[in-house]
Amino acid sequence: MSALDVYWLPAELAATPPGNRVVVVVDVLRATTSISTALSQDAARVVPAPTVERARQIARGIEGALLCGERQGLPPEGFDLGNSPRAFVRKVVSGRPLVFTTTNGTAVMHALEGVEELVLACFRNGEAVARLLEPDLVDGGRGALIVCAGRRGRVSMDDAWCAGHLVGKLATRLEGLALRDGARAARALAARLGAPTAHGLGRTAGGRSLGEIELQDDLSVCAALDDLTVVPTWRDGAFVKGGEEDP
């Protein structure tokens, strides 16, 4: 049986690089929730950008691109959309390429673009991600690594909760699955916290920040469990729809 690990912070990547493991990035509030939502609403693809300036530059080169993301939680000047999953509705995003920059999530996605297989997870697509990982976690599999985006270099409760939720799901199904310390700690945390709720997410540092800018209605969307089958998957410089082969 291969091993499953959770990095509570991107900084752990420097200590133990991913190697050939499948890598799953989690940024529940809100980048991976928003990107999963956008692709489920048929956005053509999502190009992550590390900075606002780079996002503007990339968007200028892509016909029909929508410029999306946030700084301090809000869309920078001239952006078409922020980072609220509620904004990524079909009539706005269907068929459109999105260029996306956020404070925490897209930076780690960028740092990982060289890995063999890179996907995005949130509570909404947790079941779909778990199914996708299963073959890599049986004997002879590549193993998998869940990387929490964190919050400005600090541990983020919501990301660790979601990572632990995924670990719990997989460990229950795959008897004998080897869990590293980070994965075991995340699993224990998620077991303690239970199923995600808007109230629970609202008590995290990220959730409180959303309240301060009156975006607390995003929380119930981010807390929705397994209502999406899309797994954003890295292909040729963008995240595209993956994970729906078994609808």
Contacting residues toward a second copy, per CB under 8 A = 6-9, 11-12, 14-16, 151-157, 160, 180-182, 184-185, 188-189, 191-193, 203-206
CB of 201 to a second copy, least distance (A): 11
C-beta of 69 vs 206, nearer to a second copy: 206
C-beta of 161 vs 234, nearer to a second copy: 161
CB of 203 to a second copy, least distance (A): 8
C-beta of 50 vs 62, nearer to a second copy: 50
Beta-carbon neighbour count of residue 25 at 10 Å? 30
C-beta of 52 vs 193, nearer to a second copy: 193
CB of 72 to a second copy, least distance (A): 17
CB of 119 to a second copy, least distance (A): 22
